Each structure stands twice: as structure tokens, then as C-alpha cells.
Amino acid sequence: MAPKPIKNRVTAMTGADYPIIQAPMGWIARAQLASAVCAAGATGIIETSSGELDNVKAEVAKMRELTDRPFGMNVALAFVRGTNIVDFVIEQGIKFVTTSAGSPSVCTAPFQEAGIKVFHVVPTLEGALKAIDDGVDGLLVEGGEGGGFKNPSPVSTMVLLPLVRSRTDLPIIAAGGITDGATMAAAFALGADGVQMGTRMLTSAESPVHDNWKQAVINAAETDTVFLNQESKPALRALKTERTAALAPLGKFNVFEHMADIQDLYFGGDMEAAIPLIGQVCGRIDAVRPVREVIEETMSEFYDVIGNLHNTYG
């Protein structure tokens, strides 16, 4: 039997059974993965950071064939150029958006006027306070242990989440290091109302990436990520490979040059073709698992952990 749904501020906005969000990831967070997430009772997100908006539109249409459950989209503001991304997303008819990599001030009001709830990704307290001023509906508080593009001064989820919670009553979705029910329970103890999983979803059975990459994540220890380009923007956290180990001491380089052949890595399995973005939680992932198993186990374990804590200390 599926674990009990959670009714809270996040599921009220996402329309899902569980306050678990699949992270947006360029090219990866498309219908195959996102529809499996929705079918399992969580929230699938369709990416726009690839910039391939015609393909993204087709993926949204595919979502409507594969699931009748609600899903969301992500707008990584710095990565989409030459199109009115706000109008594009509104036209897709979804009701939940996460914005990242830029200021939400330009898009929060138009999204909200179209009936869309907006959560902005924040890596610092300062970023959180700015997003609150911009009128967002919630915050996606992302710790520096997570995979992907990062603030040059990474702050861990353990520090950032309670810090932001101490300054706002808005709903918070926590990201960075979340992979199971124990980490979800920890995030809730620190003030979150929901969690987002990136690295975990990247390695799921329904993730479209090449098996070489999934296996590399599974084989990686918690010490096997590198933090790159921290003297410039965007900084990023990635798997240690020959390419990224050589880039690590540079402090500053042209990230986009090293991401140009990313599809050879994502779908061709050539781990040296580009920079493989992953989080430190790779050290806790040891198998490729179907999304439904990951989500249902996370929820059961979440209930067990909070129950055991209550029984022991309550």
C-alpha cells in the first residue's frame, strides 16, 4: 500500500500527494522522468535550461499523454535567452514554477497573475530576503552540497535552512543532500515543508541519462565531487573526473566551453566529454532504483523516523 499522503502548504500548491519535488536538470528533467515522478505521487518538473524550447513544448505535450497529475516547470533565468520565457511557460498551462539562477523580480508577478505559484531557488540568506521582497510564494533553499550551478560561497543545507526559516514564515522546499526519509525528516525538523531531489533522481531507472553516468554516481564516494569556478560565476559542483580534477585548481574558467558537448556525456556516456554535475549525496546512492520505489520508501522512512524520534524523546 502506498504511504499516507501529506496535506501541507507545499502539496496544496503542487497538487501532489507527497511534498517531494524532482529537481529540474537540463535535457534530463523531461517527460520520461517527470511523468514517473508524478505517477508515484510526487511532483515532476520539466526543465527549460537546455534552451530547446520547441523540444520542451513537445515534452509538456507528452506529459499530458502520460499523466493526468499536475507537474511543474523550472525557469533558470540566466540560461534562456532570446525568448520571452515567462510567456512561454504561462502558455504551457502549468500551475507551479521554480525559478533559479537569476532574480525572480521580473517574472514573479506575471506568473502569479496567470495563477502560477512561484518558488525561487536561494543559496544564501541575502538571496532569500530578496526573493521574499519580490513577493514569491515560497523558497527553494538549496545547500551547497547539492549538484549543479551554485553560489561561489557554498553554504550547507544544515546551516542555510534553519537560518532562512528563522527569517520567514513562507513555505520552504529544501534541496541539497536529500535522498531518503531520514534526510527528508531532518529537513522538516529544520523548517522545510517539502524537499527536492536532484542527484537521486538523476540515477533513477526512469532517468534518461547513459548508464555510465548512473554507475559513476553509484561508484562515487561522498568525497568524489569537486567545487569549480568559485572565483567566478556560475560556480558548480560536479563529479571528480580527469577533466574536472584539472579544472578544480583554476578557480576561474569559461564554464560554457566545458559544457558544450554535454549531450555526449548525458546520452553518449563519455564521462570526459563535459562537466558531470552531481551533489555530495552521490556517496549515499548505491543502486539504480525505479522512481516509485525511491518515493514510497522515502515517505515510509520519513514516517518511521519521526515516529521513532517521538517514541524515544517525545
In terms of phi and psi (left: phi > 0; alpha: psi -120 to 50; beta: otherwise), the region of 135 is left
Q: Which is nearer to ligand FMN, 41 or 148 (CB)?
A: 148
The smaller minimum CB distance to ligand FMN, of residues 30 and 200, is found at: 200
Q: How far apart are CA 77 and CA 229, in angstroms?
A: 19
Shortest Cβ 266–ligand FMN spacing (Å): 8
Q: How far is the CB of 314 from ligand FMN (least distance, A)?
A: 29
Q: How far is the CB of 304 from ligand FMN (least distance, A)?
A: 21
Report in angstroms how near the CB of residue 79 gets to ligand FMN at its nearest.
Answer: 7
Tell me the three state secondary structure of residue 155.
coil
Question: How many angstroms separate the most distant Cα atoms in the chain?
Answer: 56
Q: Which residues bind ligand FMN (CB under 6 A)?
A: 23-26, 47, 49, 74, 76, 100, 121, 142, 145-148, 175-178, 196-200, 202, 277-279, 281
Q: How far is the CB of 311 from ligand FMN (least distance, A)?
A: 29
End-to-end CA distance of the chain: 28
What 3-state DSSP class applies to 136?
coil
- What does 240-297 look like in DSSP terms, one character per residue? --HHHHHHGGGS---GGGGGTTHHHHHTT--TTSS--B--GGGGG--S---HHHHHHH
Residue nearest to ligand FMN (CB): 198
Long-range contacts of residues 183-189, Cβ cutoff 8 Å, at least 24 apart: 183/281, 184/20, 184/298, 184/301, 184/302, 185/301, 185/302, 185/305, 185/306, 185/309, 187/157, 187/161, 188/302, 188/306
Nearest distance from C-beta of residue 308 to ligand FMN, angstroms: 24
Nearest alpha carbon to residue 34 among 52, 51, 16: 16
Element (H, E) at 308: helix 291-313
**Which neighbouring-strand residues pair with 142?**
175
Q: How far is the CB of 26 from ligand FMN (least distance, A)?
A: 5
Q: Which is nearer to ligand FMN, 58 or 307 (CB)?
A: 58
CB closer to ligand FMN, 65 vs 270: 270
Q: Which of 164, 154, 99 is nearest to 126 (CA)?
A: 164
Distances in Å between the Cα of 100 and the Cα atoms of 25, 148, 215, 247 are: 12, 11, 28, 25
CB of 251 to ligand FMN, least distance (A): 22
